[in-house]
Amino acid sequence: MSVAIITGSAGLIGSEASKFFAAQGLEIVGIDNDMRQVFFGAEASTDWNRQRLEESLGAKYHHYNIDIRNWEAIAQVFQQYEKDIALVIHTAAQPSHDWAAREPQTDFTVNANGTLNLLEATRQYAPKAVFIFTSTNKVYGDTPNRLPLIEQEYRWEIDPNHTYAPGIREDMSIDQTLHSLFGASKVAADVLVQEYGRYFDMFTACFRGGCLTGPNHSGTQLHGFLAYLMKCTVTGNPYTVYGYKGKQVRDNIHSADLIASFNEFFKAPRVAEVYNAGGGRYSNCSMIEAIQICEQIAERKLNWTYADTNRVGDHIWWISDNGKFSHHYPNWQLKYNVNQILQEIYQFNVERWQKEVVGK
């Protein structure tokens, strides 16, 4: 049986990928050591999701509690499955600007060295496998903030005559810009994935996502925008909006839409590709707009405050242009917009979140 190795398998994208590709007939090898709990505390633990995976997938899922920085352990797993490995989806990461600044060495070794370990293991033991990496739009640093932006009542918008008005393309430079340390570690990983593709003629792709979201997201204050926003609305926990008058814009892509794009690439892989992957013009919102939608769905007000200082390297306006991927894979299209995403997050989690409140 063909094997898919999925890192961060208990996280949002990893768990969705595990379920999807198991349904396609692949045997899933999940690698996840719940380091998200180390990064963000007990509320961000993905252990609940791992248990759900093991229960729902049964013998189709094999879990390894391994740190991706541990080369010997990673190599052993790849050697065990070797030529059966058809697909590697690498989602494990340290995902926060703020956390990276506190522990730069941990951030870099997880994001860059961990990616190198997985690439090298793939090259040595499964060189024909498809390697998909969840990169980030933070590889562009704060270059998007130099775009001609116009302030509107609830959001920032780009000059409609600008070349990036339909969304930001992959031709935006990643050089000479403030990335944040998190952005820098992901740049290193992103370039490694490209280089392994070109240098060793491997099927690799970087999917540069922004806000990846969905009902399985263990949202927390420093990472998981929509999921955490809805959780705070439901539970009454305070929420802080940082900078840009709360009008900063993000496109949001549902995990199912992203996994569908992974599947298209898996079926017809290419060498060293780079794709911006987001909700595009179809699915985007500002912070203020997202708060309004959450309050409407939950039928209660969010307890939020505003801090004038924005996070380092944070984007004022980001909307992806998915045109390159759509050109390569015309059968793929987005299905979820922001309203649908938030409604699903609410329905899936409201009972669990309300129990957490009662249990305090």
Q: State pLDDT tens for residues 230-255.
A: 999 999 999 999 999 999 999 999 99
For 103, other C-beta atoms within 10 Å of its C-beta total 14
Strand partners of residue 64 = 31
Full 3-state SS string of 254-272: EHHHHHHHHHHHHHCCCCC
pLDDT at 217: 58
For 347, other C-beta atoms within 10 Å of its C-beta total 11
> What average pLDDT does the segment 277-288 reach?
97
Look-up of token digits 């730069």: 104
Q: Which domains does the chain have, with CATH numbers?
A: 3-359 (3.40.50.720)
pLDDT at 354: 86
DSSP 3-state of 97 = helix
Backbone CA torsion sign across 306, 39, 210, 176: positive
pLDDT at 221: 54
> What average pLDDT does the segment 276-282 reach?
98
pLDDT at 154: 98
Question: How far apart (Å, rounded) are the C-alpha atoms in residues 211 and 318?
Answer: 10
What is the DSSP pairing of strand 130-136 with strand 27-31?
unpaired
For 285-341, the pLDDT digits (tens) are: 999 999 999 999 999 999 999 999 988 778 999 999 999 999 999 999 999 999 999
For 134-169, the pLDDT digits (tens) are: 999 999 999 999 999 999 999 999 999 999 999 999
What is the DSSP pairing of strand 3-7 with strand 85-90?
parallel
pLDDT at 106: 95
pLDDT at 137: 96
DSSP 3-state of 286 = strand
Residue (of 269, 252, 248, 266) closest to 335 by Cα position: 252
For 28-81, the pLDDT digits (tens) are: 999 999 988 878 777 778 888 899 999 999 999 999 999 999 999 999 999 999
Question: How far apart (Å, rounded) are the C-alpha atoms in residues 319 and 158?
Answer: 10
Backbone CA torsion sign across 197, 100, 278, 212: positive
Question: What integer best gives the mean pLDDT of the chain?
Answer: 94
Q: Is residue 224's pLDDT more than 80?
A: no
Question: How far apart (Å, rounded) are the C-alpha atoms in residues 36 and 21?
Answer: 23
For 87-134, the pLDDT digits (tens) are: 999 999 998 878 889 999 999 999 999 999 999 999 999 999 999 999
pLDDT at 222: 45
Q: Strand (E) positions, the chain?
A: 3-7, 27-31, 61-64, 85-90, 130-136, 149-151, 156-158, 203-209, 211-213, 239-242, 249-254, 273-277, 284-286, 304-307, 317-318
Structure-derived torsion over alpha carbons of residues 214, 183, 100, 121, reported in degrees to the nearest 10: 80
